Structure 1
Amino acid sequence: MAFLQVNVYSNVLQMEVAMNVILPQTTHKNIGTETVGVTEDVPVMYLLHGMGGNHSVWERRTSIERYVAEYQMAVIMPSTDLGFYTDTTYDMNYWTFVSEELPMIVHELFPQITNKREKTFAAGLSMGGYGALKLGLAKPEHFAAVASLSGAVVLADVKSLLLVRNEAYWQGVFGPLDHIQGSVNDPLRLLDELVASGQEAPRFFLACGTEDDLYPASQYMAHKLEQKNLVVTFEEGPGKHDWIFWDAWIQRVLAWFNEQ
């Protein structure tokens, strides 16, 4: 596998943005793992970081490069700062960047990466779990499946939000806190809109550690997806909100993505 550190200019954000990219590469090694290259129609996973992370954190904290080798899959890991995968009130449109501009940049720079929905996936942890779920709900035409690990997928509980960051931060991202519920950033609204649209929905995977404070949120969101008769897998296991859990479960996500 090849690991690329990429800097691109985002016209949406009007700034330079960093992302790390993993691509299949043919390698013949005496020591280590041999890999097979793919030159066209490469499946791709957009892998999103959480709060406090950036484009480098998945590579640094897990063995993601080794895990994806057997699937001959490309991985796109962008940095989105603390924008919560949202078009913020302070005029930084991270949602538009991730959901619209980033795939265009990827396909311009890496034409071997697939354009096919059935080979395109998204996953993320915590804040990134919210982002991946949002991609699946709001852009179902682009993703075959999405996965949320320990996702911050329920935003209506304002008290819980304020335990993480102060009110000024959340207002900067979402606007008035009492307006989040039912807004374009509320996964429950996006779920209702997806079902009403009649579009084919992606498969959804949610997992969370049973000792994680966000466990009830993942459980609740999985239930809501099931109520709408969408294809959803909810799994749990021992674990906290940490990289021990995410390193183990991203391996399960990759296997699940490749299940028929």
Structure 2
Amino acid sequence: MALIQCHFFSETLGLSTAMTVILPQRTSGQVGMAGVANRDRHPTLWLLHGGSDDDTIWLRRTSIERYVSELGLAVVMPQAHLSFYTNMEHGGQYGTFLMEELPRIARSFFPLSDAREDNFVAGLSMGGYGAFKWALTQPDRFAAAAGLSTANFSTAKFGEMLRRPRFLELVYGTASQEGTDNDLYHLIRKCSEAAGEKPKFYQTCGTSDFLYEHNLELKNAFEASTLDFTYDEEPGTHDWAYWDKTIQDVLAWLPLRKD
């Protein structure tokens, strides 16, 4: 695998930011790990970090590089700070950065496929919210989307539970987000009712996670829709032991094309 960390200027954000990228490499000489590159333009997993982390965290806390080595799958991990992948009320336009600018820049740097069937998005906690929000907003861009221990910021009681509503106010202001494009429940209904191709969705959460009840509410919303949805749960909490295991489940679930 080729591992690249890029620092670049974002015109959307008006500042320098970063992404960490894993690219497939065709090789049999790596000790303990095979490498596969099936195509000239690689299928891509856009993998989003959680609220306390950055673009390097998936590499530092999981074996994602090893897990994708034999799949011929590129992984793009952007830096989004504590933005919830949203156009912030008091901060950067991270929703536009993620959904519009990042794919354009990444594909200008690297040979990444822009075909819908070759693109997938996943994330944990805040990144799960971002992954679902992106795929539900732009369903024509993805074949699949997955959320691990998703932090559903659509609910007012989430901010009350964390007892830190001020950092949510930086993103959303003080107005209710119900019925807006920041509301996952609204996006699920909207996507479900829309015409055209839609991604498959996968959700998983540990049964001892402090977000477990919120994930059950989100599960119910997906199951009430017409979307292709898979849910999984098992013992676990909001930690990297759970995410290191379940990202492997996500990779096994992805509808990767067989050439």
Superposition TM-score, scaled by structure 1 size: 0.94
* 1:215 equivalent in structure 2: 212
Equivalence map 1:78-89=2 (5 Å) = 78-89=78-89
Given that 1:85 and 1:94 are in contact with CA atoms closer than 8 Å, whether structure 2 keeps it comes out as: yes
What secondary structure is seen at the aligned counterpart in 1 of 2:230?
strand
CA distance in 2, matches of 1:208, 1:30: 34
Unaligned 5+ runs, structure 2: none
Give the whole-Å Cα distance in 2 for the aligned partners of 1:216 and 1:238: 14
Q: CA deviation at 1:207?
A: 0.1
Equivalent of 1:249 in 243, 246, 249: 246
Q: 1:223-248: CA deviations, max 9, x gaps?
A: 21121121000000010000000000
**1:213 to 1:11, Cα distance in 2 relative to 1, 3 A:** same
Give the direction of change, closer, same or farther, for the CA distance of 1:162–1:23 in structure 2 (3 Å limit). Answer: same
SS at match of 2:250: helix
The CA RMSD over aligned residues, in Å, is 1.6
**Residue 146 of structure 2: aligned partner:** 147
Indicate if the aligned counterparts of 1:154 and 1:217 stay in contact, CA closer than 8 A. Answer: no
Aligned residues: 257
Q: Distance in 1 between matches of 2:241 and 2:11?
A: 36
Alignment of 1:13-52 (within 5 A): 13-29=13-29, 31-52=31-52
Percent of aligned pairs sharing the same letter? 40
| Cα distance in structure 2, aligned partners of 1:258 and 1:182 | 31
User: Which residue identity is paired with 1:44?
Assistant: T
Shift of 1:152: 0.9
Comparing 117-126 with 82-91, which one deviates more in the overlay? 82-91
User: Mind listing any 5+ residue stretches in structure 1 that lack a counterpart?
Assistant: none
CA distance, structure 2, for counterparts of residue 39 and residue 234 of structure 1? 31
Instruction: Name the aligned partner's letter for residue 180 of structure 1.
Output: Q
Instruction: Tell me the secondary structure at the aligned position of residue 141 of structure 1.
Output: helix
Q: How far did residue 162 of structure 1 move?
A: 3.5
Counterparts of residues 177-188 of structure 1 (less than 5 Å): 178-188=175-185
Q: CA offsets per residue over residues 113-138 of structure 1, 9 Å max, x none?
A: 11110110000000000000101110
2:201 to 197, 201, 204: 204
**Within 5 Å, which residues of 2 pair with 1:86-235?**
86-110=86-110, 112-153=111-152, 155-158=154-157, 160-164=158-162, 166-176=164-174, 178-235=175-232
